[in-house]
Amino acid sequence: MSEPMEYIKKRIRDVVDFPQKGVIFRDLTTAFKDPRALHIIGWDLSQLYRDKGVTKVVGIESRGFIGASILAFELGAGFVPVRKPGKLPADTIKATYHKEYGDDTVEIHRDAISEDDIVVLHDDVLATGGTMAAAYELVKSMNPRKIYINFIIELEGLGGRALLPEGVEVTSLIKY
Distances (CA, A) of 159 to 96, 128, 153, 175: 19, 6, 13, 12
Catalytic residue flag (residue 36): no
> With 0-12 CB in 10 A as exposed, 13-18 as middle and 19+ as buried, what is 151?
buried
Residue from 6, 11, 13, 100 carrying the catalytic annotation: 100
Is the torsion defined by CA of 13, 15, 16, 19 positive or negative? negative
Residue from 63, 74, 110, 161 carrying the catalytic annotation: 63
According to DSSP, the residues that pair with 93 across neighbouring strands are: 108
Catalytic residue flag (residue 63): yes
- Cα separation, 64 vs 41, whole angstroms: 12
Residue positions annotated with a catalytic role: 63, 100
